[in-house]
Amino acid sequence: MLVVLIGYMGSGKSTIGKELATVLNYSFLDLDDYISHKENSSIPELFKTKGEIYFRKKETHYLKEVISTHDNTIVALGGGTPCYGNNLNVLLKNENVITCFLKLSIPLLSKRLFKEREKRPLISHLKTEEDLLEFIGKHIFERVQYYNQADYTIVTDNKSKQEIIEDILMRLI
């Protein structure tokens, strides 16, 4: 089985995914790291040199590769992965995949992401917390229709990592 964590950037997919993998004795795979390794380039560099369309095509290719070659793995997707191409259908139609949407409120996302915006190509140009808050609000409005199709939604506001992991485990049982 693959447990695929989806949600907006900064929602904790990688952090929670690593700990969940330890609890379940599964492997952990961050799709962005996997793409970076396969392409021998960072995600920001791929966006900069080859563009978002190239990145999204490769993202779909590697998502399908991961699903077909891995088992007993927690997979953290990039925030946009389920929103492009046929990626969400690939996940939802696969009997070996369970999707969990890690849902964090916009104000908490904004606070968390403001500190690390330089490392994130989609928000690196935003200079104030107000601009970031507005951007995230609009972006989530566009993406939430995809995130809400996950098998499970885990609200993470004001919860510890342990509480979030317990919420996920309760749904997997």
Binding-site residue numbers are 10-15, 32, 56, 79, 120, 143
In a domain, 10, yes or no: yes
pTM of the model: 0.94
SS3 call for 10: coil
Query: String of b and e for 67-91 (b: at least 16 CB within 10 Å)?
Result: beebeebbbbbbbbbbbbeebbebb
Q: Assess if residue 46 is contained within a domain.
A: yes
Q: 126-172, pLDDT tens digit by residue?
A: 999 999 999 999 999 999 999 999 999 999 999 999 999 999 999 99
Q: What is the mean pLDDT of residues 41-58?
A: 91
Parent domain of 57: 2-165
Give the model's confidence band at 73: pLDDT under 50 very low, under 70 low, under 90 confident, else very high: very high
CA–CA separation, 121 and 118 (whole Å): 7
**Residue 10: is it exposed, middle or buried by C-beta count within 10 angstroms (0-12/13-18/19+)?**
buried
Residue 172 covered by a domain: no
CATH number at residue 135: 3.40.50.300
With a cut of 90, say whether residue 47 has pLDDT above it: no
Structural domain includes residue 14: yes
Rounded to whole angstroms, the Cα distance separating 85 from 142 reads 14
Q: Which residues are annotated as a binding site for Mg(2+)?
A: 14
pLDDT digits (tens, 9 = 90+) for 82-137: 999 999 999 999 999 999 999 999 999 999 999 888 878 788 889 999 999 999 99
Q: How many domains does the chain have?
A: 1
Let me know if residue 137 belongs to a domain.
Answer: yes
